[in-house]
Amino acid sequence: METDSFNEESPKPQFDPQDWNDWHWQMRNRLSSIEELQRYVRLTPSEVNGIKMAQGRFPVAITPYWASLLDPVNPRCPLRMQVIPTSSEHLVSKHEMLDPLAEDSNSPVPGIVHRYPDRVLLLPLNMCAAYCRYCTRSRWVGDENEMLLGARLDPAMEYLRQHKEIRDVLISGGDPLLFSDKRLDELLGRIRAIPHIEFVRIGTRVPVFLPMRVTQELILTLRKYHPLWISVHFNHPREITPEVKKACTMLADGGFPLGSQSVLLKGINDDPAVFKQLVHELLKIRVRPYYIYQCDPVTGTTHFRTPVSKGIEIIEALRGHTTGYAVPTFVVDAPGGGGKVPINPNYVLEHSGGVLKLRNFAGKQYTYHEEAP
């Protein structure tokens, strides 16, 4: 029986502000053990069991910053549910897969996933600031010594050079913003040296889990490689703290278009009112809601997944009821490597003989006549 060392009456641990605002310190002091986490939250028996069972499989690692945001006594805290495993993580349904998006079978060389005709996914490292328990790459992330640097990156770069149809590179992982500024400079420089690469994106959750990583030095490094777009993973309005606002402001002021990619998660953001609050808060910090993903059927995530109808309900609650910039695209990433498939409410009631019968956001019906020139 684990000893519950959490004292609800005691304040959360306090640290020197200079340490707290140092992203290296945050990474060195991530929480992974039951004893460490109990300094911040009262762990439930299910959470204790989940942490034990995660050892050697899919690591637990939580920055002190993120841990400070968790509700210490409510296991249904939407931020806590994302990072602390429970016993439910070890229940597997018959349709779940280790690699639901078939990334491994679409990987011609280490670090490259080539599914779409003109773009690739580049995975140069598999380390994250914290590990989301619904992660599509839970089979792979967490070996924090596994990085493609220097000569180990050569096959991926050669693949990009040889395939001139590739115009778009998305750098993800893991989280590429955990590279040092020097390593990022090297990586981006090598990609930008390939003439046919037009478009470079970074997928990251660092501004959310580790906002102190966004420094002026990082901005200056990234600005050398414009045009550069950044997709940030936000799931809940409580994630948008003053520190996150500052990080996103620095990135936006640096000239980087920011988009948000969210995962639809049961009990976390599957309420239309919560999602509307999230997209409104995102626009206020110059982050454009981009995608809502149906939670992938990765092994051990049944407890996170909602019916697809819930995503449609959320889109319907946004479209026409708030500004269009606040409405992301709801997608199912088709299992087996089919790519993103948009799923939308049905606003077309009938289409025949050049006549469309439509309904609008308020449920009223209208007719549109297609006329040949």
Q: What pLDDT digit, counting tens, does each position of 303-349 carry? A: 999 999 999 999 999 999 999 999 999 999 999 999 999 999 999 99
Tell whether the model's pLDDT for residue 9 goes beyond 70.
Answer: no
Is 185 in the active site? no
Active site residue 201: no
* pLDDT attached to residue 91: 92
Domains detected in the chain: 17-82 (no CATH), 104-342 (3.20.20.70), 346-373 (no CATH)
223 is known as an active-site residue: no
- Considering only residues 141 and 248, tell me which one the structure prediction assigns the higher pLDDT: 248
Distance between alpha carbon 283 and the CA centroid of its chain, in Å?
A: 17
Asked if the bond preceding 237 is cis, omega within 30° of 0, the reply is no
What are the φ/ψ torsions at residue 366 (nearest 5 degrees)? -140, 160
Instruction: Provide the pLDDT for residue 15.
Output: 85
137 is catalytic: yes
Confidence of residue 4 (pLDDT cuts 50, 70, 90): low
Catalytic residue among 116, 225, 290, 347: 116
- Put residue 194 in one of left, alpha, beta given phi > 0 → left and psi -120 to 50 → alpha: beta
Q: What is the pTM of this model?
A: 0.93
Catalytic annotation on 333?
A: yes
State the Cα torsion 40-46-52-56 to the nearest 10°.
Answer: -100
d(CA 286, CA 184): 24
137, 139, 213, 310: the active-site residue:
137
Query: Catalytic annotation on 22?
Result: no
Contacts of 336 (CB under 8 A, 6+ apart): 100, 101, 102
Query: Which of 318-332 are b and which e, b meaning 16 or more Cβ less than 10 Å from the residue's Cβ?
Result: bbeeeeeebbbebbb
Using the predicted structure, report yes or no on whether residue 10 has a pLDDT greater than 60: no
pLDDT of residue 145 exceeding 70, the answer is no
Of the candidates 161, 192, 266, 340, the residue annotated as catalytic is 340
Selecting among 65, 99, 128, 159, the annotated active-site residue is: 128
Let me know if 288 is a catalytic residue.
no
What CA–CA distance (Å, rounded) separates 164 from 197?
Answer: 8
Both tokens assigned to 308 = 């697809």
Confidence check: pLDDT of 3 > 50: no
Which is nearest to 13 in space by CA: 99, 72, 89, 84?
Answer: 72
Beta strands in the chain (DSSP E): 112-116, 119-122, 168-171, 199-204, 228-232, 258-264, 288-294, 329-334, 339-342, 348-352, 355-359, 365-369
Q: How far apart are CA 10 and CA 42, in angstroms?
A: 12
pLDDT band of residue 13 (cuts 50, 70, 90) is confident
For all residues of the chain together, what is the average pLDDT?
Answer: 94
Whether 132 is a known active-site residue: answer yes
Q: Which of 30, 80, 119, 139 is labelled catalytic?
A: 119
- 169 CB-contact burial (10 Å; exposed 0-12 / middle 13-18 / buried 19+): buried
| pLDDT value, residue 2 | 46
| Tokens coding 215 | 């420094």
pLDDT at 144: 64
The DSSP output letter for 141 is T
Residue 64 has pLDDT above 90, yes or no: yes
pLDDT in tens, 72-129: 999 999 999 999 999 999 999 999 999 999 999 999 999 999 999 999 999 999 999 9
- Average pLDDT, stretch 148-174? 93
How far apart are the C-alpha atoms of 323 and 320, rounded to whole Å?
7
Q: Which of 30, 65, 80, 132 is catalytic?
A: 132
